[in-house]
Amino acid sequence: MKVSVIIPVYNNADLTKECLASIFSVGAKYDFEVIVVDNASSDHTDKVLAEFSDQVSIIKNKENLGFAKACNQGAKKASGQFVIFLNNDTIVTRGWLDELVFVAENNAQVGVVGAKLLYPDETIQHAGVVFAVNFLPYHVYKKELKDSRFVNREKEYQAVTGACLLIEKEFFQKLKGFDEIYQNGLEDVDLCLKVRKNGRKVIYCPKSVVYHYESMTEGRGGGLAHNERVFLQKWQKKIEVDDRKQLLKDGYFDDKPTLATALEVRDGRIFFLEKKIDLMENSFFWRVRNFYLKSKSLFRFR
C-alpha cells in the first residue's frame, strides 16, 4: 500500500460524506486506503460511514479525543508507506494525492508536503505558513486569487497546514506523531518544526488542490490560549520570523498588497479593515506593525 488517507471526524456527517465521495470519485494512480477516526460523533455520521463501509476502515472512539490523538490512532493502523492527514471539511480534486506523493518521492530531503487549499469562492485558504514577529504562524496569501503568481510555485516553508498534509509513516512514528498536548490547534505546525529539526524539508505543493471549508468542527479554536502558550514555550527561540522576508522574496510588495494581509496573525483573524495602501515595504510601517503584534502577545500571556 502506497498511501493511507487518515480523516478524523467529529459530527458534520454531510461534510464527511462529501469528502469521501470526492476521494473515491477522483481516485489516484497509487494504491491507497482511507481510515476514518470517528471521535464519538453524535449526529448521523454512523449512517454516512455505513454507506462507505466497503471502502473505508473505521476507528470508533467512545469520546472525543481531539485532532492529534485521532490522527495518531489512524497512523498506527495505517498500512501505507505515506500517510495523508485530511480534514473532513474538504473536497479533493483530481491528482491531489498523486502530486503530494510525487514531491515526496522525488526528493529524499522532503519530510512533509502540503497542498494548496481553496475556499469555495476559489480564493486561497492555504498556500504555506509563515511566522509573524510575535512568533505565531499564519497562512500567507490567504484570500488571494487561486491563479495568483504567488501561490502557484512549489516552495519550502517552515510549516504547512495539517488540513491536508503528507508524511512518510515511518518518519512520522519516529517523531512520535502529533504532540497530544495541543487542543485542536498548532499540532500541525509543531509537527512541521519537528520535521525540520530532524533535517527534512517542509514543501508546499500547488499542484495538489483541495477545497476546504475551514474550521467546521465544533470546539475548534477553544484551546487557543493554551495552544499558543505551549507552542511558544517550546519553539519561540527556534522560529525564524519570516513573513516579511517571504513577501519580499515573492515580489508581493510590487503589487501593493492589502493592509489586512500584512497584519493578519492567525487563521480567520483580521484585526484591521482591508484597504489598499502604498509603500508597504516602508520600514516605519513594519516597526508599527511589529510593536502591535508584540504588544498583543505580552497582554495575552500575562
State the residue range of the domain holding 118.
Answer: 3-300
187 grid coordinates: 499540532
Spatial contact of 235 and 190, defined as CB atoms under 8 Å apart: yes
pLDDT for res 288? 67
Give me the number of domains the chain comprises. Answer: 1
- The enclosing domain of 94 has a CATH number of 3.90.550.10
Residue with cell 520535521: 195
- Cα separation of 29 and 7, whole Å? 20
Q: Tell me the CB-side half-sphere exposure of residue 71, using CA atoms within 13 A.
A: 30
pLDDT for res 252? 78
Spatial contact of 40 and 64, defined as CB atoms under 8 Å apart: yes
pLDDT for res 218? 56
pLDDT for res 255? 57
pLDDT for res 214? 78
pLDDT for res 277? 42
Residue with cell 505558513: 129
pLDDT for res 133? 84
pLDDT for res 231? 97
pLDDT for res 96? 98
What one-character DSSP code corresponds to residue 253?
A: G
Digit-by-digit pLDDT tens for the chain (302 residues) are 999 999 999 999 999 999 999 999 999 999 999 999 999 999 999 999 999 999 999 999 999 999 999 999 999 999 999 999 999 999 999 999 999 999 999 999 999 999 999 999 999 999 999 998 889 999 999 999 999 999 999 999 999 999 999 999 999 999 999 999 999 999 999 999 999 999 999 999 999 999 999 765 555 556 899 999 999 999 999 999 998 889 889 887 665 555 545 554 433 343 333 333 444 445 556 666 666 666 655 444 43
* Residue 108: exposure state from Cβ atoms within 10 A (0-12, 13-18, ≥19): exposed
pLDDT for res 293? 67
